[in-house]
Chains A and B, each alone.
Chain A
Amino acid sequence: MDATAFLERVQALQRDGYRLLMINATAIASTEDVELTWSFEKHGHLEHWREQVPPEQEVPSVSGLYPFAYLYENEVRELFGVKVTGLNVDFKGQLYQTSTKVPFSAKAIRARLDAQKGKKP
């Protein structure tokens, strides 16, 4: 993922009048990757951008362009373990108070499913 090119694309969309609707993450069960989707909206039209992010990959923050994005980015970092860099507000893992670290990661989901089946996680 080329951070500069990505942010330029976001900036172009912003100039075109799109607002950031949300950033959503989904853990991919078969790998440790996370599917990250940026959704934008303009007059009811939705635009979605998707990246499949491996655990070691860094993802640039869009909070420099959409200042409120920090909340979504802190969330995907804490709940899914995505390495978001360059946040304008960094809660340093203190936003969500959860008993399990990175509770929505593929690994944590597998552990829960194994526990449901009565297996040892």
Chain B
Amino acid sequence: MKKTIVLMGPQHPVLIEPVVLDLVLEDELVIDAIPRIGYIHRGLEAMVEKVEYADFGTVAERICGICSFMHGMGYCLAIEELMKVEVPERARFLRVVWAELSRIQSHLLWLGLGADALGFESLFMQCWRIREGVLDLFDRTTGGRLIHSVNRIGGVRRDISDEDLAGIVKTLEGIGAAFSDVARVFLEDPSIRHRLDGLGVLTTEEARTLGTVGPMARASGITDDVRVDGLSPYDRLSFSPLTETAGDCLARCKVRVREVPQSIDLVRQAVALMPKGPGPIDTKVRGFPSGEAYIRLEQPRGEVVYYVKANGTKLLDRFRARTPTFANLPAMISLVKGCQLSDVANIILTIDPCISCTER
């Protein structure tokens, strides 16, 4: 049969992310998919050549607008490890609060986009309406809805008063109650099941072989979650990774739906265990870093790895971020092969790709 090449992206009506794929088709069947990276490649890693290490956190958090907080946190953790900085306990708990709020808003963003892709406009609006409440919390506590600039090497720039922390927990209770109605639709509505059930199946073995991470791996039964690997203070919080076994698009959706209330609970636990405020929230850092550090974090989309190499001067030798979407791309390409053209967008969407992160 004659092959047709369809160029998908960077602009696509369903995918908000500028995914670029060359799809090789036989009739409507996808037989190959070739990704292209570079449409929004900004060379952020190369900016270590001219941005001083103390200021580079602001570059790191601009890798992506959705995982902004965690990119900043990962970079700071790497430098703190190199410089052997002891971060105050309250700051470490505050980082957990913001990190879990990031996860909630990222999953709500994705669930809204997923509903929109399926043509379920009212569900899309409900998800994003709930998400606004989380963005308001960010706005109130950091001064920014998406780019927060609240991490600094040695701790955080802003404290949240104990009263405000109690207010956050109360607000999240309301968000959790509102989300439970939305979650029921994702888990039970027949139109969603019809579009996602049994589509884009990734078995546990395939997920391991293809190096998947995050909710995508957990939807295929893999229990990996960097948060349980001992990152302080997650080791003091009670939770376990949420998994599904079907490995299909619906399972990936279910994992994210279930992770929203889990993150709300983690914020509640973090606030309860946090030392009473105010402060201290940071440690003064002097000198220049030297050596190499690897930091792993669990972003909303999965495991991210930061590598920093420093030479004892104000400029770093290397900064590298291996993002979760980069790790999930091989599985995405594998899943697209053999599916119908009409299902490509849904399969790609359930991976929750972030091209800003991938291309950096």
Contacts and interface: CB of A to CB of B under 8 A. Distances in A.
B209 A95 contact: no
A96 B37 contact: yes
Nearest to B209: A67
A6 interface: no
A39 B305 contact: yes
Contact of A66 (B211, B229, B331): B211
Nearest to A112: B49
Interface in A36-57: 37, 39, 41, 43-44, 46, 48
Nearest to B211: A68
B36 interface: yes
Contacts, number: 70
A71 B317 contact: no
How many of chain B's residues touch chain A, expressed as a range? 20 to 34
Nearest to A19: B211
B288 interface: no
A91 B22 CA distance: 12
Contacts of B329: 71
Interface residues of A, number: 31
A81 to B, nearest CB: 15
Given A109-B49, A113-B49, A71 B305 contact: no
A116 B35 CA distance: 33
Contacts of A96: 37-38, 41
Interface string A63-82: 00011101100000000000
Contacts of B35: 95
A97 B41 contact: yes
B198 interface: no
A67 B307 contact: no
Contacts of A60: none
B42 to A, nearest CB: 11
A96 B296 CA distance: 25
Contacts of A43: 229
Interface SS of A by simple majority = mixed
Given A19-B208, A21-B322, A116 B50 contact: yes
B327 interface: yes
Nearest to B212: A68
Given A20-B211, A21-B322, A39-B294, A44 B36 contact: no
A43 B224 CA distance: 9
Nearest to B210: A68
A48 B293 CA distance: 11
Contacts of B62: none
A33 to B, nearest CB: 13
Interface of B: 34-39, 41, 43, 45-46, 49-50, 208-211, 229-230, 294, 296, 305, 307, 309, 317-318, 320, 322, 326-327, 329-331
Interface of A: 19-22, 24, 26, 29, 37, 39, 41, 43-44, 46, 48, 66-68, 70-71, 91, 94-98, 103-104, 109, 112-113, 116
22 contacts: A22-B320, A24-B318, A26-B309, A26-B317, A39-B294, A41-B296, A43-B229, A46-B294, A67-B330, A68-B210, A70-B330, A71-B326, A71-B329, A94-B36, A95-B35, A96-B41, A97-B36, A97-B37, A97-B39, A98-B43, A104-B46, A109-B49
